[in-house]
Chain A
Amino acid sequence: MADFVIRNIWLIILLPAVGTVLLHFLGRRIGEPWAGWIASSAIGGSFVLGLIAAMPLFAGEAEAHVVHVFDWIPALGANAELLWDPLSALMVLVVSGVGTLIHIYAIGYMHGDERFGRFFTYLNLFATSMLTLVLANNFAILFVGWELVGLCSYLLISFWFVRPSAAAAGKKAFIVNRIGDFGFLIGLMIIFSTFGTLSYSTVLHDPGSLLGAGAATAVGFLLLVGATGKSAQLPLYVWLPDAMEGPTPVSALIHAATMVTAGVFMVARTSAIYALSEPASIAVATIGALTALFAASIAIAQTDIKRVLAYSTISQLGYMFVGVGSAAYVAGVFHLMTHAFFKALLFLGAGSVIHGMGDEQDITKMGGLWSKMKVTAWTMLIATVAISGIPPFAGFFSKDEILGSAFGRGGWYIVLWAIGLITAGLTAFYMTRWFVLVFLGKPRWDEGVHPHESPKVMTVPLLVLAILSVIGGFVNTPFKKGLEHFLEPAFEGVKLAHEPEGALLWLLAGVSVLVALIGIFVAWTMYNRPEPTAEPLAAKAPNLWRRMANGYYVDDVYGTLIVAPGKLLSAWSAFVFDKKIIDGFVNGVGIVVRRISAALSPLQTGYVRNYALVLAAGIVGFVIWIIGTGGF
């Protein structure tokens, strides 16, 4: 059974692909809610197949399977080949598992939308693309998945394209990702020119034999550029907050749980290359730490229920980068997994609140929802505690493993550990603020708003994710390193960083729990009051608060420095360079040929005798030519 699925692992991709095609053509006719259930069962089927195929891996089998589907571009070493190893298995399970829950949730959330069927077409297309990305066995397939998830992200951010802000946000995401992809592609070209193939089997198996330290650093940096685009890290993170224009299930699935982790996954997948280059690894970790702190500080001052979570996602992705950059690949991927649980939960809960509040997204106009939305509120409490890093919830173990490994490496990494620790405090602070403002205190609702709990189809996924957020951390605790044993074969040949042990472990864990508790306590005292929206910090440091609320005006800076000159340049190329020079050349060729052609046209008279003459001349000429070259 498991063998069969592994040998035909492409079935995992095929299921949502079939769903996509089916819904594309029949989505409108099938309509609500069956289009949603079809899409959900497609991705759910992938999850079940993934579980079956992962059984031998769970049982401790270490062998990686390469499944050849067909020859695609053999010259590039880019065949349709899939890789089934612990890392891809874990990613498949996270993507399809969380994906299934979010698909089901979306059936309730998208209720009544005009383009219900189309929404699920895109969701299934996304699942197809993401599963392709994680199952790839060469950089070409990876890149195909990479671009396709970008496309889906674009389609889904601007799903409500009649809203100008949604259309603009989609465009922004697409363009910013192009910048990242540019670096990524150059990296792939260097890989190809060095190894002569794009296949993982060659490239990632002992790359040091062909790749010098300098080249490894170059490749590492270029791949990092791609990763910062896709995973919304400094300086390319700007698209993710705007991506919240998309429907909330999309934010949960694509912009929190799965797609944005593609960068982290890619760094983990290419760990063999990063292991060759200390500077590249340090760059990954440093960018991650800075992003974590930077985004967390912005999250503090946001008032939109989803933008808080968006900046929080950027910040948490930063942690994952610290993990994979410290060679703690297992820890990074572990955090990827637990984050998928609790951040998807947070977004779905936010969606439930938005749904119940009649599309209200401003948390200053919420409050007092605890009694109105019991299930949502309880699950959100669990998620908040989990992300804040309180044991024994899921976020604690993964975050602590990252911080511990960074500390354990020493040197510059100690600085990164300190930044991570501060960020942990900020995280606990802004998440508590978020929770208190939304659920506690007195209602500050607009008139005519009657909050209500969401239907079962939405709350059941919340409950499942809440359970995962509670227990998800136990797969890899300092006492029983289950995930580490599971993933170790995928990082064969790479020296993994480990958490410190013994007293130091307890000390570090104690410090980070203490920091988290301080964050929660400070936020609690500040906001759990009769007048919570007065923002005590804004009164104390109004300038800083304004900057944080506006994301340090990064968007404006980019607008002046990059977008405006860019627009000028493209206007020049379109209206001057292209029109005068390129068109002139092309039209010139066309016109010359056209003149010749018009001059020759009269030869085609339409008279059979003339045609026969041409034929006869051709025959005589050709026979003479052949005999002339071959001998008489």
Chain B
Amino acid sequence: MSDIVNVSYLAVGPEIILTLGAVAVLLVDVFRKPSPRVHAWIAGFTLALAGVVAGFQWTAEPSVSFSGMISIDRFGTLATFIILGVAALGLATAWGMVERLGRRGAESIVLVFMAAAGFQLMATSQNLMMIFLGLEIASLSLYVLAGISRERVQADEAALKYFLLGSFASAVFVYGVALTFAGTGHLSILDLRQFFATYVVLRPGVTLAAMAMLIIGLAFKVSAAPFHVWAPDAYQGSPAGIVGFMAAAAKVGAFAALARILIAGFPFYQDVWSDGLALLAAISITVGMIMAIAQTDLRRMLAYSSVAHAGFILTALLGGPGGLAAVWFYLAVYTVQLIGAFAVVSSVAGPMGAQSPLSDYTGLADRSPFLAGALALFMVAMSGVPLTSGFVAKFAAFASAWAAGYEWLVILAVLASVAGFFFYLRVIVLMYMQEPAVAEAPGAAPARFQAVGAVRWVLLIAIAVTLLFGIVPGPLLDLVRNALPL
């Protein structure tokens, strides 16, 4: 490590811009009381500018700055790109909610920006304490977002549960940070690697316990079983418009941090942590698939399916550095599918709506062919049918685990994927092959739903991405292959 302290504003450029954008939204809101359109311009401009700065990061030489706290590398930059994209799509989906909230609409934009900045810090930090800070910034924003409607008891309940359990997980993570320091005397990921390469640890118990707790804290955020218990309630109770963002951004940030800590910090213990991750993956895939089948609410089903998907991404991570490309590809395409699915959900349930019983979706194809078609595509993609991005993602993940010697897990995952068809296809069957449920009031026609405004574009983009990277995955795979941590 050089003696000169390097300070590169580029390293935190996107986060600074997001923060300034958040401040701008708040100030304009206080002094001008503008229409939501003005907020939309500010938000769009902020995200675009952050994206441009992230583009500069992509071409910059990898480096570490702020006394080894933050790094510029393509690993973190790719995460920044995905998070910015997720934030843009998520905000567009939630725009109906932003408008509906009136004065508090600006708050929700600010919270989305803060959450995005937090997750980006998690992905770019080289220091466990910084990762923890990012985690908390993002988590606190998400807790508030979950309860932002304040009109419904379910939302408050969901937010409170999310907060309580999330604090629990944060505590475990920070305990893991403390134990890491206790065991090695280091908090920087690069120093950790150096330490393990230099010294022989005779009694690794403390260090291993620390590593386990770091894994658990992040596994909670990505909703891997058995640390997923918060997810179904949070997905179901939060405002429909924002759930997609909450779920997708958290997965990207937490998986990035997990991959960096384990691959860059603990490569010495790869045998140990990959066995542990394989265990978590197996539990997640099994629990997610089995529980998803019994759900009668689409959002709970998506929550359990996201548990299973967390398992698949863990499966990809088993390949170590060689599996990173599969992790990134999976994250990039799955987050888009997830936001797309929730865009449909929020069109049907309304932007503030809670609960999405499957009975809302019977016969949807006749009433809202575009929404039904889009949801059907996302279901097909999530189940991993060829010619969608979901197939390529699963294939890459399985290939990574197979190469790492986890054949048993791949077989289990393939079987679970087959079982998964059952509940994904059930949604499609409901939409296309069944009559709508009889309306309660005689003579009342079943409601027609439409994707309004920005949601329409979100759906079109999600559809395009899902099909494009299913048919032509090559360019994206090439791109993510470059995204290695320092």
| Chain A residues proximal to chain B, CB less than 8 Å | 70-74, 79-80, 586, 589-590, 593-594, 596-598, 600-601, 604, 606, 608, 611-612, 614-615, 617-619, 621-623, 625-627, 629-632
Residues B290 and A623 in contact, CB atoms below 8 Å apart:
no
Closest B residue to A632 using CB positions: B205
- Taking a contact as CB atoms closer than 8 A, the residue among A73, A597, A601, A611 that contacts B165 in the complex is A611
- If A594-B293, A608-B165, A625-B279 touch, whether A618 touches B233 (CB-CB below 8 Å) is no
Can you spell out 5 A-B residue pairs with CB atoms less than 8 angstroms apart? A70-B478, A590-B419, A615-B226, A622-B276, A626-B272
Distance A606 CA – B230 CA, assembled complex (angstroms): 9
Q: Are A626 and B290 in contact (CB under 8 A)?
A: no
- In contact, A611 and B279 (Cβ under 8 angstroms): no
- Residue B477, interface by CB 8 Å: yes
Known contacts A612-B165, A612-B168; is A626 also within 8 Å of B212 by CB?
A: yes
A611 and B293 within 8 A (CB): no
Residues in A neighbouring B475, C-beta threshold 8 A = 70-71
Q: A-B pairs with the 10 shortest C-beta distances?
A: A71-B474, A597-B294, A618-B226, A630-B272, A626-B212, A611-B229, A632-B205, A590-B422, A623-B212, A630-B208
Residues of A within 8 A of B232 (CB): 604
B462 on the A face (CB < 8 A): no
Contact between chains at B208 and A631 (CB < 8 Å) = yes
Please give, as numbers and ranges, the residues of chain A lying within 8 Å of B294 by CB-CB distance.
Answer: 594, 597-598, 600-601
Q: Are A623 and B229 in contact (CB under 8 A)?
A: no
Report if B164 contacts A (CB, 8 A).
Answer: yes
Contact A593 B290, CB 8 Å, known A615-B165, A626-B272, A632-B203? yes
Q: Report yes or no: A626 in contact with B208, Cβ–Cβ below 8 A.
A: yes
* Contact mask for chain B residues 259-288; partner A; CB cutoff 8 A; 1 contact, 0 none: 000000000010111011001100000000
Q: Whole-angstrom distance between the alpha carbons of A572 and B275 in the complex?
A: 49
In the bound complex, CA of A71 to CA of B478 (Å): 8
Do residues B161 and A608 form an inter-chain contact, with CB atoms below 8 A? yes
With A611-B229, A619-B227, A632-B203 known, 20 other A-B pairs at CB within 8 A are: A70-B472, A71-B477, A71-B478, A586-B422, A589-B419, A594-B293, A597-B291, A597-B293, A604-B232, A608-B165, A612-B165, A615-B220, A617-B226, A619-B172, A622-B280, A625-B279, A626-B273, A627-B205, A631-B205, A631-B208
Given A619-B216, A626-B209, A630-B204: A593 and B276 within 8 A (CB)?
no
Residue of A nearest to B157 (CB): A606
Chain B residues contacting A622 (CB-CB under 8 Å) are 212, 215-216, 276, 279-280
User: Smallest distance from the beta carbon of B47 to chain A beta carbons, Å?
Assistant: 26
Q: What's the Cα separation between A601 and B296 when bound, in Å? A: 11
| A596 partner residues in chain B, CB cutoff 8 A | 290
CB-based contact B474/A72 at 8 Å: yes
Chain A's closest residue to B300 (CB) is A604
Query: Residues of A contacting B463 with CB < 8 Å?
Result: none
Could you say which residues of chain B place their CB within 8 Å of the CB of A630? 204, 208, 269, 272
Q: B204 to A593, Cβ gap below 8 A?
A: no
CA–CA, A328 to B343, complex, Å?
60
B residues sitting closer than 8 Å to A (CB atoms) are: 160-161, 164-165, 168-169, 172, 203-205, 208-209, 211-213, 215-216, 220, 226-227, 229-230, 232-233, 269, 271-273, 275-276, 279-280, 289-294, 418-419, 422, 472, 474-475, 477-478
Q: Are A73 and B474 in contact (CB under 8 A)?
A: yes
Q: Is the CB–CB distance between A593 and B293 below 8 Å?
A: yes
Q: How far is the CB of A578 from chain B (nearest CB, A)?
A: 15
A626-B276 in contact (CB<8A): yes
A608 contact set on B, CB distance < 8 A: 160-161, 164-165
Residues A80 and B472 in contact in the complex (CB < 8 Å), given A615-B168, A631-B208: yes
Contact residue among B168, B209, B279, B291 (Cβ-Cβ distance under 8 Å from A600): B291
Residue of A nearest to B203 (CB): A632
Which residues from B are CB-within-8-Å of A80?
A: 472, 474
Whole-angstrom distance between the alpha carbons of A55 and B403 in the complex?
Answer: 50
- State whether A593 and B229 are in contact (beta carbons under 8 Å apart), knowing that A608-B164, A626-B272, A629-B272 are contacts in the complex: no
Alpha-carbon distance between A156 and B172 when the two chains are bound, in angstroms: 64
Given A593-B290, A615-B169, A617-B226: A70 in contact with B216 (beta carbons within 8 A): no
Closest Cβ–Cβ distance, residue A584 to chain B (whole Å): 14
Chain A minimum-CB-distance residue to B161: A608
* Residues on the A chain within 8 Å of B233, using CB: 606
Report B-chain residues with C-beta under 8 Å of the C-beta of A621.
226
With A and B bound together, what is the CA distance between A617 and B216 in angstroms?
A: 12
Most buried by A among B204, B272, B294, B418: B294
Using Cβ atoms and an 8 Å threshold, which residues of chain A touch B275?
A: 629
Q: Which residues of B contact A73 (CB under 8 A)?
A: 474
Note all chain A residues with C-beta closer than 8 A to B272: 626, 629-630
Q: Which residues of B contact A597 (CB under 8 A)?
A: 290-294
Beyond A80-B472, A597-B290, A627-B212, whether A618 also contacts B205 by CB under 8 A is no
Residue of B nearest to A71 (CB): B474
- Contact residue among B211, B213, B226, B422 (Cβ-Cβ distance under 8 Å from A614): B226
Instruction: Please indicate the chain A residues that have their CB under 8 angstroms from the CB of B472 in the complex.
Output: 70, 72, 80
Residues of A within 8 A of B213 (CB): 619, 623
Question: Which residues of chain A come closer than 8 Å to B211, judged between CB atoms?
Answer: 626
